[in-house]
Amino acid sequence: MSKAWHDISPQEVEKRLAHKKEDLMLIDVRNPDEFSAGHIAQAQLLPLPILPIRLHEIPKDKTVVFICRSGGRSAQACEYAANLGYEHVFNMTGGMLNWQGELAHNK
């Protein structure tokens, strides 16, 4: 049985963001302190433990990329969302450890 979500490299995410041809929704599922230390500017923080409570805030017709530190928590988020009918769900492989683009920081 194949998984109901897809992998996407950090490089591909960066490329898609730069071309602005599609409306990607980036959801960072790390903890607030990890997010504050450095995140992709377009990403919204939605820590994995509260994802079940707030998943309804993510439109099902959007292309959603889940992000974490290394790809494990974001894979869990993908699995959860896909099981609830989200069809355009991607896991950023390698997470922020493999992100080479610019970082935003919360003060």
Q: In the annotation, is 68 catalytic?
A: yes
pTM for this prediction: 0.94
In the chain, pLDDT over 90 holds for what percent of residues?
Answer: 89
- Spot the catalytic one: 46, 48, 68, 96: 68
pLDDT tens, position by position, 10-48: 999 999 999 887 789 999 999 999 999 999 999 999 999
Taking the alpha carbons at both ends of the chain, their separation in whole angstroms is: 44
Nearest of 43, 104, 36, 38 to residue 77 by alpha carbon: 43
Nearest of 21, 70, 29 to residue 52 by alpha carbon: 29
pLDDT tens, position by position, 80-93: 999 999 999 999 99
Average pLDDT score over the chain: 94
Q: How confident is the model at residue 2 (pLDDT cuts 50, 70, 90)?
A: low
Separation CA 59–CA 10 (nearest Å) = 22
